[in-house]
Chains A and B, each alone.
Chain A
Amino acid sequence: MWDTIIITPFMNVLLLIYNLVGQNFGLAIIFFTLLIKLITHPLIARQVKSTRALSELQKDPAWLDMQKKYKNDKNKLAEAQMALYKERGVSPFSSCLPTLIQLPIIIGLYQAIIQTMGNAPLQLINVVTRISPVLTNLFSFVPWIHNPISLIPLNNHFLWMDLALPERLYIPGLVFNGVSIGIPVLAILVVLSSYIQTKLMGNPSDDPQTRQMSGMMNIYMPLLMGWFAFSFASGLALYFLISNVFSMFEYGLFGKLNLASIFPGNTSNQQKKLKEKNDRVRETKKKEIIKK
């Protein structure tokens, strides 16, 4: 079921792109990632909108007051929060739903990439038996498009990489104890881009617990992604890198990039400013209530 609905169509789209871009699997991964980003863009837009609404609500004096009022009674706090969500027409789950919908697409995407690149006998059978000429036939007017089965085995080489193997860049002369040292360029780029992405796209929060969690995520997630990029096929690492770059660009389009937060020192300043702003808003609202 999963294979039929997600992986097989993805593999065929990937093969079509490979066909269209002159049988270059690296370019196929880049364009395929871009295509998926375009398809999931409405979901991201909805997620950003929901997150923004949720974030605005959490700066509301009514929200902040109830945190103080019920700080020792979590059940009451939850009830009050739900009531406020209802009153303002904001769903706390609306920002998670698009992520959940995207998840199968993302999983299918990289499973399709891994499976399409496989070149051992059983993996090759898996690819060949899933190939359908339907998509290729639609593009038969393109002069250089080929019967997809004739593309097998795929050309996995892109720049200095074999996309089916973990990536290392070997520089002539870089030798230690007679063994050439390979630099994991892609893994390093994945760590950097993941770090920058989490920093740029993170929402500054004045909640210490959330801040702590975000801080951990900002460090561990890039390292985890980097480890995957270091250990697994470089085609997957290329997908991680391109996906990170496109995500940052996409969030930039929404005006959601938090450029000041890339550098560690700026984060605390920003949080301080945010807290001061929130305090000012709360004070103003209180004065207004007293006046009334």
Chain B
Amino acid sequence: MNKKTYIFIFIIIVLAVVLSACSAAATATSWPGLKVSDNLAYVAFGNYLYAVKMADGTMAWKFPQTEDKTQFFFPAAALENNTLVVGNYANQLYSIDATTGEQKWVYKDAKDKFFGSPLLINGITYAPNADKHLYTLDSDGKLLWEFKTEKQNWSKPVTDDTNLYFASMDHFVYALKLNYTLDEISADEFGKRDAILKPLWKVDLGTAAFSDPVLSSKGVLYVGTLGGKIFAINTQNGEILWSYPKTGELGGIWFSVVLVDDVVFVADDSGMIHGLSASTGTELWSNSYDASAPNTTAPIIGGGTALAGNAAFVVTNGKFIVLNTQGSLVWSKDFNESLYTAPQVINGRLVLAAVGSDYLLTYFDQNSQFWSFNPPK
């Protein structure tokens, strides 16, 4: 081989490597966001938000109606009455008619992606954004106020109808009022009068919180961190009631805990599921479910949901498992798909969003799979 051949081979290798990096960047960077009502399931994935009829799994509408390759919808939509609010990776937050898919308004002033789902309550939208802000918009999409954090915000806020609680990637959980009077709203760093400068309280979790906090009826907030700790916080004053584990840490916690009776179910990215006492944080049991389902050592990212006195979890390797409060396997099902999205329960049955080749959405129970939905090409 002469010098020319060597140079040619070198250029080909460089191009191959760089182009492979390009193709990797173009693939999906997240998993479907799912919200279910009695009549329709709303799944945000890729360039669209799809509304799928619960009756037969056919598509009712998609948003936007024409493809826009710059928009990526991944976070789950918020639903109240007949209004959906959904954010995307093009820094936009849309309000959509939940029945027809028609756009009501769009908020375009955020500076970064909407990774987290918004909270929609009494017509007000509370939307976390990666530009280190939580935006609060009225029912016409006008900014009421914003709250600045130190790092990105990916987790959905939760409310007890008086206050708002949300976890941030800046390691803190914040408590804010649901509504502020005009006197309480201050000027932001640029002199614009729309900022809430001081939270009611904040709690340092030590590492970033990606998962949505869960609020119990007793006013306790449960939140897991990427550093593998779970915290129970008194919403009255921000006091940490307990944290688990006391020493060391679990695998990273990427999704909400599941609260069933007095048991907190926590899944982590090492594939373990832990049962803790909701009141004391004492470990009741901890399992990887290898004994009954040997393939469940894959990470659990999407977390789970309460299901008729049990907790249902998805494992990234396609395993769906239902556990009782003693940590025993009640039933399981194998899906030939990657599962990252927590299932949703409707009428005692489950809707599951998957990342794979066979389908995006499926409706099933322990014995039957009723329909599957794949977006039209």
Interface residues of A (CB under 8 A from B): 96, 99, 103, 107, 110-111, 114, 118-125, 128-129, 147, 149-150, 152-153, 209-210, 213, 217, 224, 228, 232
Contacts and interface: CB of A to CB of B under 8 A. Distances in A.
Contacts, number: 73
A111 B21 contact: yes
Contacts of B89: 120
Interface in B22-71: 22, 24-25, 28-31
A150 B4 contact: no
B227 A121 contact: no
Contacts of B169: 152-153
A208 to B, nearest CB: 12
Interface of B: 3-4, 6-7, 10, 13-14, 17-18, 21-22, 24-25, 28-31, 74, 89, 113, 115, 130, 151-152, 154, 169, 171, 206-208, 210, 226-228, 252, 254, 269, 299, 301
Contact of B29 (A96, A107, A122, A209): A122
| Chain A binding surface SS class | helix
A121 B151 contact: no
Contacts of B208: 150, 152-153
Contacts of B22: 232
A125 B227 contact: no
13 contacts: A114-B24, A118-B29, A121-B31, A122-B28, A123-B29, A125-B254, A147-B227, A149-B226, A149-B228, A150-B171, A152-B226, A153-B151, A153-B208
> Which among B18, B74, B171, B299 has the highest number of chain A CB atoms within 10 Å?
B18
Given A125-B254, A149-B227, A232-B21, 5 more contacts: A120-B113, A123-B29, A124-B210, A150-B207, A150-B208
Contact of B4 (A129, A213, A228): A213
Contacts of A209: 4
Contacts of A118: 29
Contacts of B171: 150
A129 B252 CA distance: 8
B74 A128 contact: no
Nearest to A74: B2
A240 B227 CA distance: 33
Nearest to A212: B4
A153 B131 CA distance: 13
Q: Which of A110, A118, A152, A210 has the most CB of B within 10 A?
A: A152
B207 A147 contact: yes
A149 B31 contact: no
Top 9 A-B pairs, shortest CB-CB distance: A120-B29, A121-B30, A150-B207, A149-B227, A128-B252, A153-B169, A107-B17, A152-B208, A122-B29
B18 A125 contact: no
Contacts of A217: 7
Contacts of A119: 130, 152
Given A129-B252, A149-B226, A120 B30 contact: yes
A271 B227 CA distance: 62
Contact of B299 (A114, A129, A152): A129
Nearest to B301: A125
Contacts of A96: 6
A217 B130 CA distance: 42
A256 B133 CA distance: 53
A213 B3 contact: yes
B278 to A, nearest CB: 25
A122 B151 CA distance: 18
Contact of B207 (A110, A149, A228, A232): A149
B300 to A, nearest CB: 11
A123 B18 CA distance: 18
Nearest to B208: A152
